[in-house]
Every structure is written in C-alpha cells, then in structure tokens.
C-alpha cells in the first residue's frame, strides 16, 4: 500500500475526521427529527380514544421500525455521499501536502491538477501553488545559469592575465606599454563586472526596503538622464530627438532616471546605421509608455525572451568590444517591478526600441 493511500485510511486523515464529524451531525439531526415525529404521531393516535388501543400499539411499533430504517439508511447514504464529495476537496490538499514535503527536500514537484472550479478558494490555492513552483524552478535555472555565466565571464580575463604574466616570467614576451595596456584592459573588465554586480546587489537591497512611490515628472527625469550622455553622443556624432508628453507618474524617481539611462546606454553603445536616437513618451488608455529607440542590428528572435535576464548577452563578441555585461536591462527590469509596470523590446523598422510603462493610478 502506498504511503499516500496509507495516510488516506489512517485515523489522522483529514478526510475521515471531516466525514465523522459530518456523519455525527447528520445522525443527531435525523435522530432528533425521527424522535420528534414519532412522539408527535403517537400522541395524535392516543387522542383517538381507548377503543383504538391495539391499533395504537401496532401503529407505534410500525412507525418506530420504519423511522429506524429510514434514519439508519439516511445516515449510511449521506455518509457515503459525504465521503465521495469530501474526497474531491481533500485529495488536492493531500497532493499539496506531498508537494510541500518534496519542496522541503529541495525537489520540485509536478504541478497539481486543479479542481474543475478554479474560481473557488481551493482552486485559487492550487493555481497559486503551481505558479509558485514554476517561479521557483525558473529562479533555480536562472541562478545556475548566472553562476555558470559569471564563472565564464571572470575566468576569461583572468586566464588572459595569467597567460601574459607566465609569458613575461618565462621570457617569451617582455614588458611594454602595449602589454601593460592589455593587462589593464583585462583587469578593467573584471572590475567593471564586479561593480555592476555590486550595483545589482545594492538594488535588491533597495527593493527590499520598499521605497515609497512618489509623483515623478517624466519630462524632467528624461532631461536629466539624457543630459549625461551628451558628450558620448557628440563623440560618435549621434543626433537625438526627444518627444515626451508631459505627465506625472507614480514611481521611484531615481529608478526612472536609471532605466532611461540604461536604455540610452544600450542605444549609443550598439548604434549602427543612420538616423537619430529617439525618446518618446505618451499617455495611453491604461498606462504611460516611455520608449528609447535607436538604429542597430536586428536582435535574433530566440534572444528576445532573454534580453532582461541577468548576464545574458545577445552577442558576446560585440559585448566584449563595447564593454556590455548583460546587467543593465536586468537592473531596469528589477526596478520596473517596484511600480508593477511593464518593460519590453520591439523592433520598429531599423530601430531597436526598449520601453517601460507606468500604470495609471487613481487615488
């Protein structure tokens, strides 16, 4: 007998406890009803007079017998129905119990089959639990990938530095400004990555602190963010167009500026082609949408779902050349969750467009 079936038949089973309680309540109700009916009927027959004494006794005995049979049968039938219907409620709870035990062991259980009526409390509980399992599995997969990617990212420059140092030690190459510059570049790659990881860790701590949402003037936040990139744009001779509809959104102001800065940094870093970088903002029916677009290579369709994953880089060779570490968009996504907004990517003509939304809030 399986462990699950053994528990089902044990006295500790919630199903049997609930069944026994309900049967006891129904038995008491039927017994009281039968007793009341029996006494009332006997009293009415006695009022018919002494000439009906024999018939009274026969009637009382027959009535008692039928009431006993009906009451006993009612208890048995209702008890059986109670078990059948209660099992439909308890079985998902037993599955939930077994799944939580697997979670305690570090294993991820299969999704629990939800009841037909998913809108009741039990259905919502099962649905939420299944979503929790899916999220935990996704987090575990992302964590493994993060560790793997991070190991690769750090190992590559350190291997290069180690190779240079061993070659210099053995006399294969001699120290020169070019060699020292290469060593400095490799150590700079590691330093830049660690700084971004520190930024990401600091952001997680800030999100845990639950900073309050405040009114933010979008056009002012955009102006402050894009002003910081003026020198970099002029160096690459990139024009910029800003068309931001005036609006006040509920958000964390420094997060809004950081998200715009991350979008602009990507647009400038991977700029290829002709045309300006554009910043647009418009009020839509359910949210305010802010987007940054710039001409660049088309992002492969298989890469799009992972653009906002930590340490994910669409083209490692291009990222190495430009200094990208695949953390800017991940940071932007973490920030956006603070006000329950949406963040995403779209291809418009020759432009890669990244957008963020701010839900309308009526208070």
Q: Where are the domains of the chain?
A: 3-110, 212-363
Q: Please state, in angstroms and rounded to a whole number, the distance separating the CA atoms of residues 345 and 330.
A: 13
Residue 361 has pLDDT above 90, yes or no: no
Q: Give the DSSP per-residue string, 67-125.
A: HHHHHHHHHHHHHHHHHHHHHHHHHHHHHHHHHHHHHHTT--PPPPPPPS-TTSHHHHH
Per residue, the 3-state secondary structure of 194-237, as one string, reads HHHHHHHHHHHHHHHCCCCCEEEEHHHHHHHHHHCCHHHHHHHC
Name the one residue in this structure whose structure tokens are 């996504």: 333
Count of CA atoms in the C-beta half-sphere (13 A) of 59:
16
- 3-class SS at 10? coil
Domain 212-363 maps to which CATH number in 3.30.565.10, 2.60.40.1220, 2.40.50.180, 3.20.20.410?
Answer: 3.30.565.10
CB contact at 8 A, 135 and 108: no
Confidence label for 321 from pLDDT (cuts 50, 70 and 90): very low
Give the per-residue pLDDT at 75: 72
Q: How many Å separate Cα 330 from the centre of its chain? A: 15
Q: Percent of the chain beyond pLDDT 70? A: 77
Q: How many Å separate Cα 14 from the centre of its chain? A: 31
Residue 317 has pLDDT above 60, yes or no: no
Confidence label for 7 from pLDDT (cuts 50, 70 and 90): very low
Q: Extract the tokens encoding 347.
A: 């291809």
Residue 326 has pLDDT above 80, yes or no: no
For 185-189, 288-292, 320-324, which range has the lowest pLDDT when averaged over its residues?
A: 320-324
- Give the residue-averaged pLDDT of 329-334: 85
Comparing 54 with 294, the larger pLDDT belongs to: 294
Give the per-residue pLDDT at 51: 53
- Give the residue-averaged pLDDT of 65-92: 74
Comparing 303 with 57, the larger pLDDT belongs to: 303
Name the one residue in this structure whose structure tokens are 């308890």: 90
């Amino acid at each position: 007998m399986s462990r699950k079936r053994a528990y089902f038949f044990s006295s500790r089973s919630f199903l049997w406890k609930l069944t026994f309680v309900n049967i006891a309540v129904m038995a008491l109700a039927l017994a009281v009803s039968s007793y009341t009916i029996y006494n009332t009927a006997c009293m009415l027959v006695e009022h018919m007079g002494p000439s009906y004494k024999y018939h009274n006794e026969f009637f009382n005995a027959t009535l008692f017998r039928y009431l006993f049979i009906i009451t006993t049968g009612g208890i048995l039938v209702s008890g059986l129905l109670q078990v059948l219907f209660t099992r439909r409620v308890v079985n998902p709870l037993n599955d939930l119990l077994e799944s939580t035990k697997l979670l305690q062991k570090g294993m991820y259980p299969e999704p629990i089959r939800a009841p037909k009526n998913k809108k009741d409390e039990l259905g919502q509980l099962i649905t939420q639990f299944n979503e929790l399992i899916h999220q935990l599995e996704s987090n575990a997969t992302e964590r493994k990938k993060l560790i793997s990617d991070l190991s690769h990212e750090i190992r590559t420059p350190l291997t290069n530095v180690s190779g240079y140092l061993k070659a210099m030690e053995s006399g294969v190459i001699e120290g020169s400004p070019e060699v020292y510059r290469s060593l400095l570049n490799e150590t700079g790659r590691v330093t830049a990555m660690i700084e971004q990881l520190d930024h990401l860790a600091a952001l997680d701590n800030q999100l845990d602190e639950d900073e309050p949402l405040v009114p933010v003037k979008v056009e002012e936040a955009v102006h402050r963010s894009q002003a910081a990139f003026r020198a970099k744009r002029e160096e690459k001779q990139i024009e910029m167009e800003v068309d931001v509809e005036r609006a006040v959104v509920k958000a964390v102001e420094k997060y809004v500026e950081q998200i715009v800065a991350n979008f602009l940094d990507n647009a400038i870093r991977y700029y290829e082609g002709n045309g300006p970088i554009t910043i647009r903002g418009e009020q839509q029916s359910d949210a305010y949408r802010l987007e940054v677009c710039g001409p660049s290579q088309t992002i492969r369709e298989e890469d799009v779902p992972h653009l906002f994953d930590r340490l994910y880089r669409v083209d490692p060779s291009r990222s190495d050349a430009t200094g990208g570490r695949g953390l800017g968009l991940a940071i932007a996504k973490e920030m956006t969750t603070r006000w329950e907004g949406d963040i995403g990517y779209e291809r418009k003509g020759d432009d890669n467009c990244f957008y963020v939304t701010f839900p309308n809030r009526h208070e």
